[in-house]
Amino acid sequence: MRKSVIVLLVLIFLLTACSKNAANVSLIQLPDNYNLDDAKSDNCVVFEDGDITYG
């Protein structure tokens, strides 16, 4: 019972954290000169060498 409560609380936390003003933009809509620094300044999740380095 205690494990299920903990799992439920973690799921609620993750769902509320992921819903914070997320703007879904298609890659086609990005300008051609959009770069890594732009993604970081837009608070996007950035993967570098297989690891999350920002966001």
> Which tens digit of pLDDT belongs to each residue from 11-35?
777 666 555 555 677 888 888 899 9
**Structural domain harbouring 54:** 31-55
Nearest CA-CA partner of 30 in 19, 20, 38, 40: 38
Indicate the helix (H) or strand (E) that contains 46: strand 46-48
Residue 16 lies inside a defined structural domain of this protein: no
Give the chain's mean pLDDT.
79
pTM of model > 0.85? no
Q: Is residue 24 part of a domain?
A: no
Instruction: Indicate the number of domains in the chain.
Output: 1
Q: Could you tell me where the DSSP H helices lie in 1-55?
A: 2-18, 36-41
pLDDT tens for 30-40 read: 888 999 898 88
- In a domain, residue 17? The reply is no
Residue 50 within a domain: yes
The reply to whether 52 falls in a domain is yes
Query: What token pair was written down for 52?
Result: 């999350």
